[in-house]
Chain A
């Protein structure tokens, strides 16, 4: 039994069979053939091209709207595979002239092509991964390995283990058979993460190269709560996971129940949601609304951003499903993993500090405006709110709101209806934003705290980096101080504030959030019942005392001890009360 530490990007627990999806470059030895074998190599090459093209065409047919339209990407791949002049003929020349073995010729020629692309201006070098993908498919075929990199038929309860899934791989998965994901790389906005959240199955990313040692077919547990992947677990570990899975299933369904503290303070609980799946169930569970609808899923697997009508229909469906309950739609928030290979610069030396989130939306104003128009047009179908991600300060918020007003003016000119009084909010994710929160609150209708990024940027810790992941500590007194500033600014203006990072869904921290004065939390839907129960256990005064003590603690270790002690005391108290 072995445990690999990862980062949970979609929660839950799954027990399954490891299916290794190889993205790793296969070593291709440079081989020559005798003159007599040249015709056979030429034939093998042509067969490989035809077979790869056929695979791609099949993929295009079997992949339908559900997972985003990958057909544009596939069409481009096919055009490469049909390029006689620059691709097919030069490779055939290497086979007949240099007597290269077919796979050798493919690798040699693609290397030249990629070198040439590398020298050209963006976005052309961004296509290099596509060429690599085509090369891989051809070489796999020539070497007699499944060219799809994914097995034809997945076993039941597959746990997909990969470097990171490509959009075409994500699109071609048999989703009935996948119960979990584990990847070497990737962050919360990677294709794997978005797909997993969409499907509602657990995923761990950032497991590091040790993941490469997991044997195919091994029994594994994807444990989103402990944030680890257990390889070949012993019987006791499996039993323990089964028990927790059952408890989770019970918790995930049924009414969330009251979320009032023992002193009667109402804490509104909202769900975070990636797609429109499950919205109806959420409403039945009795949540206050959707506190965070991440829209990145809509962009997944597309070469181009989805058009306005498509987006409008999607948002409208979600709004209608929630009736009059508020639905906070966050505009696209792409991080270092961007959906569009042209935008995916990949060359940013420091993507966390680079062109991401709202900055990216400003840089791609057309795509941003399309989304704003779609949200506006959908807003007549329910109780919509719009939320801008990672807003630095009031000025940046005004710039984003100006883009929204521009979209509104356009719609008015075109005679299209939208909700004029649509509330507009800002996501507070940077330490500096907390320091200038009063000015931001003067402009924004509401603020949501994105705790994951707030912690990352406060502590300078990338939680997907295993070397420093243990330093990612939500209970750090400095982080809490920033959250306190934000909640104080909210109170001064009487405007709503919600916590919607992972901290909101971790019951260990619920007393701290209540103690800080938050009355609205938004979390993964599977955590709602657990947090409601945690809220019902809270004494307002005890929570405030705890919070003051933690704020005064010298560091995260002392803060952690205070939390331990608090939960210990609370446990005995509730036992005593029966």
Chain B
């Protein structure tokens, strides 16, 4: 992936951490965009269009998720994801 053209950090508020439902929501949101979107947690990262990759990071509450994107709509993509996480996935 080319150098990310947009990046945003957000803290995971969900008590249950990033389990299946919020992971599915991340994927659904990411799929709305052309951009390649990655979620970075410390050293590890996941493609935001893969629910398994997102889930496997097993991020507990309070984890800092770094969304990075490159592509035409990169900044809109990271913004949408940050907003989704920020309001706790509506939980």
Contact = CB atoms under 8 A, between A and B. Distances in A.
A83 B21 contact: no
Given A76-B20, A83-B52, 20 more contacts: A79-B51, A80-B51, A82-B27, A82-B51, A83-B27, A83-B51, A85-B47, A85-B49, A86-B52, A86-B53, A87-B52, A116-B56, A117-B55, A117-B56, A123-B17, A123-B20, A124-B19, A124-B55, A124-B58, A304-B91
A473 B58 CA distance: 47
A536 interface: no
Interface in A39-89: 72, 75-76, 78-80, 82-87
A342 B53 contact: no
Nearest to B51: A79
Interface of B: 15-17, 19-21, 23-24, 27-28, 31, 47, 49-53, 55-56, 58, 60, 91
A120 interface: yes
A415 interface: no
Contacts of B58: 120-121, 124
B4 to A, nearest CB: 18
Given A75-B24, A79-B27, A342-B19, A121 B60 contact: yes
A347 to B, nearest CB: 16
25 contacts: A72-B21, A76-B21, A79-B27, A79-B51, A80-B51, A82-B51, A83-B49, A85-B50, A85-B52, A85-B53, A86-B50, A86-B52, A86-B53, A87-B50, A87-B52, A120-B56, A121-B58, A123-B16, A123-B19, A124-B19, A124-B20, A124-B55, A304-B21, A304-B91, A366-B15
Nearest to B53: A86
B15 to A, nearest CB: 7
Max chain A CB contacts within 10 Å: which of B20, B28, B50, B58?
B20
A261 B31 CA distance: 69
Nearest to B15: A366
Contact of A76 (B17, B24, B50, B53): B24
A76 B19 CA distance: 10
Given A120-B56, A121-B60, A127 B49 contact: no
A493 B23 CA distance: 53
Contacts of B56: 86, 116-117, 120, 124
Contacts of B28: 75, 79
Nearest to B26: A79
A308 interface: no
Contacts of B24: 75-76, 78-79
Given A76-B24, A124-B55, A83 B60 contact: no
B78 to A, nearest CB: 19
Contacts of B51: 76, 79-80, 82-83, 86
Contacts of B15: 366
A303 interface: yes
Contacts of B47: 85
B58 to A, nearest CB: 5
Nearest to A81: B51
A113 B17 CA distance: 20
B10 to A, nearest CB: 20
Task: Please list the 10 inter-chain residue pairs (A to B) with the smallest Cβ-Cβ separation, ordered nearest first.
Answer: A86-B52, A85-B50, A79-B24, A79-B51, A76-B24, A120-B58, A86-B50, A123-B19, A76-B20, A79-B27
Nearest to A86: B52
Interface in A117-142: 117, 120-121, 123-124, 127, 130
A168 to B, nearest CB: 14
A352 to B, nearest CB: 25
B18 to A, nearest CB: 9
A309 B63 CA distance: 31
Contacts of A124: 19-20, 55-56, 58
Nearest to A341: B20
A228 B63 CA distance: 52
Contacts of A76: 20-21, 23-24, 51
A359 to B, nearest CB: 18
Nearest to B19: A123
B36 to A, nearest CB: 11
A353 B7 CA distance: 48
B79 to A, nearest CB: 21
A342 B15 CA distance: 12
Max chain B CB contacts within 10 Å: which of A86, A113, A117, A120?
A86
Contact of A84 (B19, B50, B91): B50
Max chain B CB contacts within 10 Å: which of A79, A130, A342?
A79
A251 to B, nearest CB: 45
A310 to B, nearest CB: 14
A80 B20 CA distance: 10
B54 to A, nearest CB: 9
Contact of B21 (A78, A84, A121, A303): A303
B27 to A, nearest CB: 5
